Amino acid sequence: MLREQFESIANTESCVIRSRAEEGEDNGRYLNLAFKTSNRAHLWSIVEAKLYAHPTFGSLLRKSSMTICTGDSGWDDYLVLYHFNPEVEIDAIDEL
């Protein structure tokens, strides 16, 4: 269901340039969902509404995920937009 919602965002939101999903195993299964976007703030509001606030899987996602936004310099300028650990400092999307 999460993957279907991710694909729906990727296929219907005009700010999404491309997307990819990667599954793997690294001391447990993981799923990385990634978007390239023309509008980071708009896409983040969509991700919050359609993934993190989803009535079926949103609470599990909030307990087990993080959202990172990289800037034009990749990992040299990134933001933590969401983190399952409430002690991790969250950045504002407009800081890039």
SS (HEC) of 48-82 = HHHHHCCCCCHHHHHHHCEEEEEECCEEEEEEEEE
Tell me what the mean pLDDT of segment 58-87 comes to: 92
Q: How many domains is the chain partitioned into structurally? A: 1
pLDDT of 95 higher than 80: no
DSSP 8-state code for residue 35: E
Percent of the chain clearing pLDDT 90 (strictly above): 88
CA 92 to chain centre: 14
**Global pTM value:** 0.90
